[in-house]
Amino acid sequence: MSAAVFLVCAFAADIYRNELEKQLRRQTSNIAKLLIGQFDTTITSMDDMLLQIASEYSSIETNGPEKLEQFHELLKRNAPWKSYSNILIGITDKAGMVVATNKQYPLTPFDVTNKDFFTVHASDPNHSILYISTPQFGRIINKQVIFFSRPLRKKDGAFDGVVQVSYPVSDFLRLFERLDFRDVGLVGFVRRDGISLVRSANGILSYGRKIPASAIVLRRIQSGEKEGSFDAIAASDKKRRIGYFIVSEVAPFHAYVGYDYSYIESAYEEAVVVLGAIWVLLTALLFGAVLFGQKTEALRQQAHIVALESGFAERKRILSDMHDSIGASLAVLISHLKPGADDWINIKQKATQILIELRLLVDSVGGQDADVNAVLSSVRHRMQSGLELAGIKVIWNVGQLPKIISLMPPDAWALRLILMEALSNVMHHAHANTATLSAIYDKAAHFVMVTVTDDGCGFDTATSTEGTGLTNMQLRAKKLTWHTTIHIESKLGKGTTVRIKIGLPADIVITD
């Protein structure tokens, strides 16, 4: 009987260790995916801002002090006002001199030809890329920063400088603070070339560190893997860790999370002691088995809760605070504006647009149904009052479309932004009397077509450079899960039509 109980305890201890390893792998996977998701959101926000500035830059044609003042106003106009209020945006001319920022005017130009955010674009002026630097000291902000940059071009496409964002590393570390890393041994973000943006080793933070070329995760990523688990001895400190890595979808970076294997060994040793006591106390065998099962289930639930809720709870709280404080203030501002004030209509339109954008931002994390009908309903709710306030009659020619069950929330959000941009162009540029939005589902050809048409001034598509958000619309369409195209038809004096065609896979789930 004693030998049988010993074998049962040894078997149970081995199961416990295996189950603990599986649970920790799941937890590191969830944490890594949360981190890379928040990282991708930050990168996308920075890149959208850089693309918008670059698209407006080419329209500035004056020279002298007026041009520098317009640069300053351009940066101020596109600078984030809440979540990233402490970042610095700058324009560097093609000679490598910073000539304007969003926070200082006039500015004494200074030389940054030795900075990689300038040299990488200047050395290859025909290539338009988003560049993300290693952590380095920011001269104006007086902090360690990461530079996000894109090239600037004249109307003829010639390289004319760089627009860069100085993002404080201290803000980047907040991604780590929002999650519970009590037992995690190693967490970090690393560039494809092996330079880490930020790294936490047993609670000690560092940045700009070179990862050894022999590192297992780095070699797997450089060989083409996008994500996966690992169980290896680290090249840096020779400690064995198990964990998970995942590559960013928007930038050449990856996040990794690893538990020190000593944590598993310690937990295993504790389990052996407990089971040894059970072996000695034959009468408590059943009771001990129940406790073991409860402890395993509690550990599973704790790992699941920590991984899935700790990051999202803080993010939703911050966005809720934004909505309750700033949204309420804007609503009060709009309600108090009265006719007769200087330029009151323009002020009210701008305040209304800010409120619309704020509500859409909150909608993007609100867990809404990812469905074309819900997207169109949200766009109508957010845009119709603004269009009518601008004197534009709105016609919504949309029947009840089938519900596309597999439409992902990021796709719904991207489609919502594309439609908002199309209607915003009608509001601000078309000088139209009427705007019409229609949507159809072609069951035979398996696609959804959403069309925005206006009777405004139009433009010559053969000679006009892309602007007023058209480039951003095309970029967002390319990022959708399904093949999506945007076709724009316009003639001077004949209005403009924007057709958004979403091709659906043959095996997509659609309900009437």
pLDDT at 52: 94
Cα–Cα distance, 316 to 323 (Å, whole number): 10
pLDDT at 149: 95
Is residue 331 pLDDT above 60, yes or no? Answer: no
pLDDT digits (tens, 9 = 90+) for 418-470: 898 888 888 888 899 999 999 998 888 888 899 999 999 988 877 765 554 67
> Average model confidence (pLDDT) for the chain?
79
pLDDT at 321: 46
Cα–Cα distance, 51 to 128 (Å, whole number): 11
pLDDT at 273: 67
> What CATH class is the domain 1-280?
alpha beta
Residue 14's pLDDT band, with cuts at 50, 70 and 90, is: confident
The DSSP result for 228-291, as a single string, is EEEEEE-TTT--EEEEEEEE-SSSSEEEEEEEEHHHHHHHHHHHHHHHHHHHH-GGGHHHHHHH
Task: Kindly list the distances between the CA atom of residue 64 and the CA atoms of 59, 91, 106, 184, 194, in Å, as whole numbers in the listed order.
Answer: 15, 15, 12, 55, 43
| Averaged pLDDT for residues 218-226 | 90
| Averaged pLDDT for residues 52-58 | 92
Asked whether the beta carbons of 87 and 51 are under 8 A apart, the reply is no
Asked whether the beta carbons of 230 and 245 are under 8 A apart, the reply is yes
**CA 91 remoteness from chain centre:** 24
Of the candidates 455, 448, 512, the one whose C-alpha atom is nearest the C-alpha of residue 485 is 448
| Averaged pLDDT for residues 394-403 | 82
Spell out the domain ranges in the chain: 1-280, 367-511
Residue 328's pLDDT band, with cuts at 50, 70 and 90, is: very low
Residue 119's pLDDT band, with cuts at 50, 70 and 90, is: very high
Which stretch, 116-120, 289-293, 338-342, has highest mean pLDDT? 116-120
pLDDT at 168: 85
CATH superfamily of 367-511: Histidine kinase-like ATPase, C-terminal domain (3.30.565.10)
Name which residue leads in pLDDT, 9 or 310: 9
Residue 162's pLDDT band, with cuts at 50, 70 and 90, is: very high
Which stretch, 9-13, 60-64, 413-417, 429-433, has highest mean pLDDT? 429-433
**Distant-in-sequence, close-in-space partners of 473: CB < 8 Å, separation ≥ 6:** 418, 421, 422, 486, 498
pLDDT digits (tens, 9 = 90+) for 189-216: 888 888 888 787 776 777 778 888 778 8
Ramachandran region of residue 501, left (φ > 0), alpha (ψ -120 to 50) or beta? beta
pLDDT at 144: 84
Residue 496's pLDDT band, with cuts at 50, 70 and 90, is: very high
The answer to which of 27-36, 87-96, 260-269, 433-442 has the lowest mean pLDDT is 260-269
pLDDT at 279: 59
Helices (H), 165-223: 169-172, 174-177, 216-222
pLDDT digits (tens, 9 = 90+) for 67-86: 999 999 999 999 876 666 67
Taking the whole predicted model, whether its pTM rises above 0.85 is answered as: no
Residue 302, token pair as written in the block: 């704790």
**Angle between helix 409-425 and 470-479 (nearest 10):** 160
pLDDT at 333: 54
Residue 332's pLDDT band, with cuts at 50, 70 and 90, is: very low
The DSSP result for 74-129, as a single string, is HHHHHS-SSTTTT-EEEEEETTSEEEEESS-SS---EE-TTSHHHHHHHTSTT---
The answer to which of 59-63, 241-245, 340-344 has the lowest mean pLDDT is 340-344
Residue 258's pLDDT band, with cuts at 50, 70 and 90, is: confident
Is residue 400 pLDDT above 80, yes or no? Answer: no
Cα–Cα distance, 109 to 175 (Å, whole number): 34
High-pLDDT (> 90) share of the chain, %:
23
pLDDT at 454: 95
Which stretch, 87-91, 180-184, 422-426, has highest mean pLDDT? 87-91
Asked whether the beta carbons of 459 and 430 are under 8 A apart, the reply is no
pLDDT digits (tens, 9 = 90+) for 143-152: 888 899 999 9
| Tokens 């999370």, located at residue | 257
pLDDT at 324: 45
Helices (H), 323-395: 328-336, 344-363, 372-389
DSSP state, residue 172: H
Cα–Cα distance, 147 to 413 (Å, whole number): 27
Residue 269, token pair as written in the block: 């040793």
DSSP β-ladder status, 495-503 and 393-398: unpaired
pLDDT at 98: 95
pLDDT at 12: 72
Of the candidates 119, 110, 45, 111, the one whose C-alpha atom is nearest the C-alpha of residue 78 is 45
